[in-house]
Amino acid sequence: MAQAEEPRGNAADTGTAEPQGTGPEGAGPEGDAAGGAVPGGGPGRDAAGGASMGGGSAADAAGGASTGGGSGGGRTGKMWRTWSRRAWATAGCAALVLAILLGWAVSRGGGGAVAPDGASRTGDTGSILPAAPPTAQVAPQVAARRVRAAADLDAVCANSYFPAAPRWRGRAPHPVVISVRDRRDLAQRSARTLNPLAYGSSAAARRAWAPAATKAQIVACLDLIGGGATLRNCRTDEPKRPTLPLEVGRYRLTVYEIATRRKVAETTLEGAERSCPWVVLTGSDPTLYTAVSDRQLVRALRRPVTQPVSESVQPRKRQ
């Protein structure tokens, strides 16, 4: 008659195996198995992933099978394995759904950031993708009316031309009108008069440098394009802005033939007038810029105004 063993707690109920000593093969009361203990009256064997055989039932080791006179311990092991498979299957499904949602979110975000220069910066490598090419320039348009005053010639700087205007050709001088835009925050332009030549020189010089608008052959468009070093602070009479900074103004000077808007010359200048202006009209930009002097303009415009123009270098008339 076999000796009855003291019943032990079934480890399959708690998920852990209680530590037990193992005896010689066939003599030990029970065998430890990964994931369950083997209750019963027969001898047991320890085997990771093997089978326990004997007169009593045995809980299977990890991945093994239980054979013999089965009892409630075998059913508990099967239930534990079934529950474990379901838990792993549920966790796997949840991970798959989370991965799909994350991939969808990344694809919706575009996978990159936009760069301060308009190019796209990819999030994985940080490389800069080339920006889209600039759009083509709009062709100049014929002005709606003939030239009547110097202000009409501002339209040439804004992409229009006057086909009936005198052509830039032949012997000098070639009368010029100067149109200035000296604020980046304001769109209006104004005519610039070179006072030393307009009021203190010969009649020929006045016809070239201060002509009637209808006699002008070319227009010089002077545009502020940026600022440089700060020179000083200029006082104002506004309580909210008692001073305004004065920066070196950078300008682009472009000369066009009025009859065709063909470009005759182009250069850049830095304003040489370093004193604070007496009156200035400001917009959203609370900065003052040095102005281009009369001497600078005369030097930059001397060649297109005072040199003869041969037929080979003059702009052709637009059709």
How high does pLDDT run on average in the chain?
73
Q: For strand 218-235 and strand 112-114, is the pairing parallel, antiparallel, or unpaired?
A: unpaired
pLDDT digits 0-9 by tens, 64-107 = 333 344 444 555 555 555 556 666 667 677 777 777 777 666 55
Q: Which of 63, 60, 54, 69 is nearest to 17 (CA)?
A: 60
276: left (phi over 0), alpha (psi -120 to 50) or beta: beta
Backbone angles phi, psi at 66, to 5 degrees: -110, 130
Are the C-beta atoms of 45 and 27 separated by less than 8 Å? Answer: no
- H/E segment holding residue 300: helix 294-306
Question: Rounded to whole angstroms, how far apart are CA atoms 239 and 317?
Answer: 54
Please check the confidence at residue 303 and state whether its pLDDT lies above 90.
Answer: yes
Count the helices and strands in the chain (H runs, E runs): 5, 12
Task: Tell me what the mean pLDDT of segment 309-314 comes to.
Answer: 72
pLDDT at 199: 87
